[in-house]
Amino acid sequence: MWKPYQLVHYLAKAVGASAEEVSDAAHLQVNHNQNILAIHTEDERMAQALAQIHQLVLGGRCYPSYTYLAAPDDSNKGTIHDARPGSTMEELVRCIRTEDGTQIITARILGQFGSAIITFADRRLPHHVVYYGSRQWVTLYRPLKQVCTTCMKEGHRVDVCPTPGTQACPETRPCPLVHAVRWGPPHRGQGLPAPIRRSSAEQSGSRPL
């Protein structure tokens, strides 16, 4: 597991700053169990630089990362559809506007199907926004609870499972199958969840931070 002082040096290299600059402007909180690194800073330039990190090189190995800015307490999140997949945060913020003057803090693409999450600087959610000149209805964002199909624990995705070698099958011997959340036909006994096979992408795991 990586120590906070090591992560500061790796983050500094990623944003092109010194370790002293990063440690002075931000403080870190590491959740090793979920592979999450929370960074708190009041420096807007540092926050924007950290938000652009899409991979971290730790100990000579490259780890893909997903970075986003946490919303303030007096904000609200909504979703729109038919956004351009692969759009960056800068593009979305530039191309989305509200007609009632509600400020847009940030926006990001959700998944690969053109849905976007927009963070508004107001607890009141606007009914619609204008995206590339077209009105889009805004619906309240309701996050789904994540369940890892490798270890069957809640709170993280399968691609960042901290224990990728753990088998979900309750049998004592190693089993190449993991089990879905829903219940189905018995698997080597009664009362066991229906098995699903892991893809090669799901079988690979990330090293905990």
- pLDDT beyond 90 at 137: yes
Closest to 5 measured CA to CA, from 33, 27, 25? 27
Q: What pTM did the predictor assign?
A: 0.50
- The CA distances from residue 56 to 6, 12, 14, 76, in Å, are 12, 10, 7, 30
Q: What is the pLDDT of residue 147?
A: 73
Whether pLDDT at 105 is above 50 = yes
**pLDDT tens digits along 27-54:** 888 887 778 888 888 888 888 888 888 8
Domain segments of the chain: what residues? 4-64, 76-140, 144-204
Helices 44-51, 4-15: crossing angle, 10 deg rounding: 90
> What value does the mean pLDDT take over residues 95-111?
90
More confident residue, 21 or 171: 21
